[in-house]
Amino acid sequence: MANITVIGCGQMGSAITFPAAHNGHKIKLVGTHLDTEIVKQGQETGIHKTLCKTTPEGKVGFKVPEGITFHYLEEFEECLKGADLLICGVSSFGIDWFCEKIIPLIPESLPVLSITKGMIHTGDGHMISYPELFEQTAAKLGKKISFNAVGGPCTSYELADDDPTEVSFCGRDEKMLRWLKSLFENDVYHVTLSTDVRGVECAVALKNAYALGISLAVGLSYAREGKEIMHFNSQAALFQQSAREMQGLLEIVGCDRDNLFLGIGDLYVTIYGGRTRMIGTLLGEGVSFEDAMNRLKGVTLESIVISQRTVECIEKRIELGLSKADDFPLLMHIGDLISSKTKVNIPWAKFEREF
């Protein structure tokens, strides 16, 4: 039996503990300063406030498996004592907080598994993954910590509901990855392993930006026909273009192109089951970015963060003569939408190729 501590008990930070709990491990879910209500309800009822499934009666929070307990942020250091693994469950919006407040508290002997998907633009036309950022942060503190991460097609509520999926654990040390796999893998949660950290993390981060792009077609269809009708030609065309641009971006950051398939799988599930679909659909319907964000206030939208950072990276590369805007027309259009420079006007002609 392993003792696992999680910092950040949002939806995925909590859902990933379900297979570990089913495998007999003990988990302490520690909320951030934003998770107070989740912890309160969890302690009182054992039901997760925001990790929900849809039933005929409406959305119902999952009751966490035996072996999972809820804790407030003030208990974090106590919860680290005796832990065999720390899971980073904060969102992209909390990455700076994690680096500043949490990494200094992590013992070198305690490995970390991050479920946060995203990339950081280094300012010179290149991007690095969150585990690489964590390593750099720890190194400045004189620490060498094993930072690992999860990528691949998996939505939190379906994982909690035992719907089968296959993800990838990535890290520097194969032995460590095999141990991590042994903690979580079961009949529904299947794990492949990779030492290409940047490749895995880049692929699954980019899906957030492009899921927003594909969801524009959903909104355009709703605006045209009403919400009872959805067109799939346009979604498929945007999916195809997304895959092409994701492949190009993987090449830019120097990753194995096989990671594209992880990103594509994650892209598929995010379009059909993720929060990113909401913002993309609203924009496609003609709602301004500002109004769409107001309507979705309180919803964590990783897609906005990764879209902005990736656009910044490409814009810098264009400035340096390393890339061309026409290589990433869908991404650049997403950037224009987020910066409120335009409303949806898919650049279809720029997607065309001659072989």
Question: So where are the chain's domains?
Answer: 3-195, 205-351
Q: Name the band, by pLDDT with cuts 50, 70 and 90, for residue 274.
A: low
Please tell me the chain's helix, strand, coil percentages from 3-state DSSP, rounded to the nearest 5. Answer: 55, 15, 30
Residue 341 has pLDDT above 80, yes or no: no
Kind plus residue range of the DSSP H or E element containing 334: helix 329-338
**What is the reported pTM?**
0.91
pLDDT value at residue 88:
97
Q: What is the pLDDT of residues 17-40, one digit of tens each?
A: 999 999 999 999 999 999 999 999
> Could you write out the three-class secondary structure of 255-308?
CCHHHHHHHHHHHHHHHHHCCHHHHHHHHHCCCCHHHHHHHCCCCCCHHHHHHH
Q: Domain 3-195 belongs to what topology?
A: Rossmann fold (3.40.50)
pLDDT value at residue 295:
85
Cβ pair 167, 153 in contact under 8 A: yes
Q: Look at 232-246, 299-313, 315-329 and tell me which has the smallest mean pLDDT.
A: 299-313
Fill in the DSSP letter of residue 82: T
Q: Domain 205-351 belongs to what topology?
A: N-(1-d-carboxylethyl)-l-norvaline Dehydrogenase; domain 2 (1.10.1040)
Q: Name the band, by pLDDT with cuts 50, 70 and 90, for residue 179.
A: very high
